Every structure is written in structure tokens, then in C-alpha cells.
């Protein structure tokens, strides 16, 4: 943040440009194929600019993980609509991309793939582990009040909100694994299965309808 | 398979030794930190033996993915006990490690981490994509008859067996993501949530008990 004048640009812009370039390069080449040169190729910046800001590829990627964490956290600040069912599906749209049947960006798979590649760095890198634990806890903090609100309104069944929130996050991550690592497209089927789970196990009205 | 005499060992043994070394090196160093030298360090073999069998790191890892695919497929050949609930939990024990509360190998997290690192290579590598699609389809082919059997016996609710099988696989993969990429241990909580899901949505007796 102290290097404002060195390359004539606002450092925030430069940082954003590096982050956007990292995203594009990660989607194109994957983590294993990533290099500073390939990230630079996606921007108007020189390689030396990168080395001025970062020590190397790993530091850029960790910073990128923090960057997407911030983007997602910003996305969660939408606030409640007052309808817990809508709020729950808005969260799922945000994390999984909207239901494919509703028309969806063709980039969803690439975006989810970039997320999973970064997240899998956490298996061996404690710094990534910290970032993604923080991201998940942000999601739990967002989901628990939605579930609690639904229970208070009598719309949701009497579930353990924290356990259900963490289970939903695991399902979201699992769908991302299936969607980004197979030769076919499982997203429509898995979205339907997720909706069926929510309607059977979380939404109380639907459950009562089926029972009667 | 044609290079039996070149280094005085059974080629199957050599291949197995390379695969075991790959597994150990992958658990220790992760995909990003992997090298032929580090794999060789985990075995009694020389680096030249590796280059005799494989063109490089990527080829070893793809071969390793096929190797674990084969191990898992062999694990699935146990056959049915006749009790679909037992068969379902046996499958989950095999893929997730047994419930932590039942006493579990401390290596489960490392094993799951090695799996997820390999699987995330499929995001950008079509050969890995093929292998893991084949592995998932093997799991579906194993789970669908268990679910169908449970429905025929009146033990399981009337579910869409294929969709439920694919959803269960997504849940398993999601639990693996949570378990291998966070600073804390979510496995006991997520195993409990998975059991609750199975008891509420799949096992019919439990559902009727709750309804009455």
C-alpha cells in the first residue's frame, strides 16, 4: 500500500489487475500450469511489476484466495429479504451458480474449478487452510441466522442450525467437486437433488404436505 | 509389463513400490511439492528406475490415480451382506474412513487429502477427468443396487436410486473437502450430520417413527 507512485498507477488498481489476471490464468491453465509469466500475459503489467508486489507465485495465489474471500464476504452482505427460503436459495445461487435450468453463465464451471484448485492448496498449506476456514466460518455465520429465522417463522423444521449449516456447506463443496472433475455435467441433477433435500429435510410445509 | 529382467525385480513389485512411494510422498509433500526425487526417497529404487517406467511426474500421478481406482474397485467387491443399511454404511466407511467416534486410523485425513489432491488435477487434466468419472460411476453402480435392495425390502424410503447415489457421492466428496482443508476437525460433526440425513431421508423405519 506504500508503493503508490512506482508505476504511475493507483496501487489498488494494480492489485485488482493482478487479481483479475490471476483468476483468468488460473481458469485457463490450472494451478499446476500457472506461472508469473502466464498471469502477466492476462494483464497489461510487466513481470517486474508482479515481483514488486509479490515474492512469487505462491504469494500471489494466497493473496488471490484472500481476494475471493473478500468478494464472497461482500456478496453475503446483501442482507435478509425477510423470507428464509429465498435467503437460503440466494446463498446457494451465490456459491454454486444459479440453477442451470434457469439459464446460467457458461463460466460457472470455470469459476468453481478455480475455487476448488485454490481450496485444495489448503491440504498442504497452512496459510490457505486459515483463509478457507475463515471463509467457511463466514458462511456458517451467514447461514445459521437464516435457518434460525426459518424455524422462528415456522417455515423450517426444527433442525440443529449449526450442524445443518455445516452439512449444507459440505454438500455445496461436494457438488463443486462433482461439477468440476468429471467428463459429463452433473450440475442439473445435483441441483435437483439438493432442492429435494432442502424440501424434505429443512422446509416444514413441504414435509407436512408429503406426510398427509 | 515387458521389462521384467531390467532391474532384477518382478515388474509388478516395482510398480507397486513406485505406487506406494508416490502415496507416501503425496501425503507428505502434497501435489505442488512432489518430485521424482521425493517419490524415490520413499522407496529403495533409484531415480533412473522411475524414468524407465514413466515419462515424468505427471505420468506417475495419473498411473497412481488408476492404481487407487483399482484399489477402491477391489474394496467394493466385498459383496452384499443382505442388509442394505449395513452395506450402505460399509461403503461410507470405505470412502470416508469409519466414524471417528468408533476409533479410526490417524492416517484417514492424509489419505483423504491425497485423494482430493489427485482429484483436483481433473479440473484441468482430461486424463484425470476420465479416471475419476470412471471411479464415480463404479461407486454409482455399487450404490444403486444397495438402495434398490433397501427399497425392495421396505427398509429404505421410495427414493430415486440413481439420484440418491449421486447425491451421496457429492456429500462424501464435500465432507472430504471440509475434513482436509480446514484448521479444525469437522469429521465427527459431519459424520453425525450424514447419519441424520440417511436416517431422515433414506431409512423408512426411522422416518415413520418420527412421524408417529
> Which of A123, A189, A192, A194 is the best mutation test for B, with the most CBs of B within 10 A?
A123
DSSP B100: G
What is the ipTM, given to two decimal places?
A: 0.87
HSE at residue B137, side-chain half, CA atoms within 13 A, is: 10
Confidence check: pLDDT of A161 > 60: yes
CATH of domain B1-54: 1.10.10.60
- Three cell numbers at B39? 517419490
Contact A183 B31 (CB under 8 A): no
d(CA A127, CA A118): 11
| Residue carrying C-alpha cell 503425496 | B26
| A31: confidence class by pLDDT, cuts 50, 70, 90 | confident
CATH architecture of A79-211: Orthogonal Bundle (1.10)
CATH 1.10.10.60 residue spans of chain B: 1-54
Contact A170 B180 (CB under 8 A): no
Cβ-nearest to B120 among A120, A167, A194: A120
Confidence check: pLDDT of A182 > 90: yes
Cβ-nearest to B132 among A113, A181, A211: A181
d(CA A84, CA A121): 34
Burial degree of A98 (CB within 10 A; 0-12, 13-18, 19+) = middle
Contact B132 A32 (CB under 8 A): no
d(CA B85, CA A99): 32
How close does chain A come to B211, measured CA to CA in Å? 8
Q: List CB contacts (< 8 A) between B163 and chain A.
A: 189, 192-193, 196
Confidence check: pLDDT of A207 > 90: no
Tell me the per-residue pLDDT of B36-62, one tens digit each, with 9 for 90 and over.
Answer: 999 999 998 888 888 888 888 888 989
The partner residues of B203 in beta bridges, in order of sequence, read: B156
- Three cell numbers at B113? 487429502
d(CA B169, CA B165): 6
The partner residues of B2 in beta bridges, in order of sequence, read: none
CB atoms within 10 A of CB A188: 12
d(CA B108, CA B132): 20
Tell me the per-residue pLDDT of A124-143, one tens digit each, with 9 for 90 and over.
Answer: 999 999 999 999 999 999 99
| Residue carrying C-alpha cell 485425513 | B109
Q: List CB contacts (< 8 A) between A62 and chain B.
A: none
pTM: 0.88
Class of domain B66-211: mainly alpha
CATH 1.10.357.10 residue spans of chain B: 66-211
Q: List CB contacts (< 8 A) between B125 and chain A.
A: 30, 32
d(CA B28, CA A124): 8
Amino acid at each position: 500500500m506504500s508503493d503508490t507512485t512506482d508505476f504511475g498507477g493507483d496501487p489498488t488498481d494494480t492489485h485488482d489487475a493482478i487479481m483479475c489476471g490471476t483468476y483468468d490464468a488460473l481458469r485457463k491453465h490450472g494451478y499446476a500450469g500457472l506461472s508469473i509469466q502466464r498471469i502477466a500475459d492476462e494483464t497489461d503489467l510487466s513481470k517486474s511489476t508482479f515481483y514488486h508486489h509479490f515474492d512469487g507465485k505462491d504469494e500471489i495465489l494466497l493473496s488471490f484466495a484472500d481476494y475471493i474471500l473478500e468478494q464472497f464476504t461482500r456478496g453475503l452482505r446483501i442482507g435478509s429479504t425477510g423470507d428464509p427460503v429465498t435467503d437460503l436459495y440466494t446463498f446457494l445461487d451465490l456459491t454454486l451458480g444459479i440453477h442451470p435450468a434457469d439459464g446460467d453463465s457458461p463460466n460457472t464451471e470455470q469459476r468453481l474449478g478455480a475455487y476448488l484448485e485454490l481450496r485444495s492448496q489448503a491440504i498442504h498449506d497452512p496459510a490457505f487452510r486459515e483463509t478457507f476456514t475463515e471463509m467457511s466460518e463466514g458462511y456458517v455465520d451467514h447461514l445459521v441466522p437464516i435457518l434460525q429465522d426459518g424455524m422462528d417463522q415456522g417455515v423450517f423444521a426444527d433442525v440443529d442450525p449449526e450442524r445443518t449449516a455445516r452439512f449444507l456447506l459440505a454438500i455445496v463443496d461436494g457438488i463443486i467437486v462433482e461439477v468440476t472433475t468429471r467428463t459429463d455435467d452433473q450440475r442439473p441433477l445435483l441441483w435437483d437433488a439438493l432442492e429435494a433435500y432442502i424440501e424434505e429435510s429443512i422446509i416444514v410445509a413441504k414435509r407436512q404436505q408429503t406426510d398427509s
